Chains A and B, each alone.
Chain A
Amino acid sequence: MSKLFLKGNEAVAEAAVRGGCRFFAGYPITPQNEIPEYLSKRLPEVGGAFVQGESELASINMVIGASYIGTRAMTSSSGPGLSLMSEGLSTMAATPFPAVILNVMRGGPGTGAIQGAQMDYLQATKAPGHGGFRLLAYAPSTIQEAVDLVYLAFDKAWEYKAPTLVLMDGCIGSLMEPVELPPMKEVQREEYPLYTSPHLNPGNPKRRCSATMITNERDHEDWNRVQAARYATIEKNELRVEEYMMDDAEYVIVAYGTSARVAKSTIRQLRDKGIKVGLIRPITVWPFPYESLRKLDETKVKGILCLELSIPALMVEDVDRGVQGRIPIATYGRAAGIVFSSEEVEEQMMLHIEQDWK
């Protein structure tokens, strides 16, 4: 198949359509605007519907409606918009309603910076909303991977009947790279069973009834257990990680998304100088690849750098949960849309290698 030279945001929008997306609602926010712009024209061509929501609150609830009726649906946004969607995400994780949620991350906190950054790690992995729930979350580091993961995210959302997050960063959304697009999938509306139906209308369980409020405590608690079991299955089956040049590594960088791209350049630079560095790159940030860190041999690995486009460091606690204090961990980040160069990261590595990791 031939490759096309595409901008990240447009490439993932087309990947969504090919993955069966037939409904999109979203509200403009930089740096993801090309996604709704592209889909506003593209979805009607394939018999789908596009709605520019009046807000992210409305948009996520429109996606809930489309998903309830069985349509493969998606929304995209960036940090502040994801915060507004959090009540909806909590509902979707619970009900559950399958859909793909794209967060093209920008600098935070608050309204923040419109340029790309990686500051929504904790939101994505720990608390995308209230009420305690988990989202399968992919973090692509190239446009090709973003395309493949968005396409996959639709299948996974529908396999688990749960919302699935793709945590891109603004850099990947705005880059242009050659990509191969996946084939067009023809999918029909599919009215999957809803857990709440027999509880809301016991006389007629064939009705599709959905609510996140089940008045019987035991039914509600059972339902919490059903959700917990789903999270456990996803944790067991859906972990993805890339281990790059790890076989003989004496130093390790842990990074995802754009940071991981920079880290790879740094690693090649350092290896040219005879310094053995490897990369652990979470492809899913939830579930997190703790095992890749747990299995590190502390008699060989002398130090770990947790590298993110974020100040403060956000992923470091997960890194340490895998390392369990056996190996020193340093952090380095830039923020507000400033991306570190591979030389800058090399300098950081050398500082630690020559001083505290001796």
Chain B
Amino acid sequence: MPIIPLSSLKRGDTAIIASVTERDAKWNRRLEDLGFTPGTVVTTLRRAPFGGPTVYRVRSYELSLRKSEAACIFVNARSADG
């Protein structure tokens, strides 16, 4: 299974988080606290206009992230029906 950044996941696709890029301790901690930890299932729900953020379902809630943040989260791309 190829590992791709979350930001390049297509709309409606579901994937499992493989890793999160180390950037800054506080920053990484927050993503972790929001639920973006390895092994968690994420679904891309919809994108905002004007190059805005994307809504993801992570764990049991919906959260939007900007592309720059989503690009630091890597997921195992698997088939959409998974």
Same assembly: no
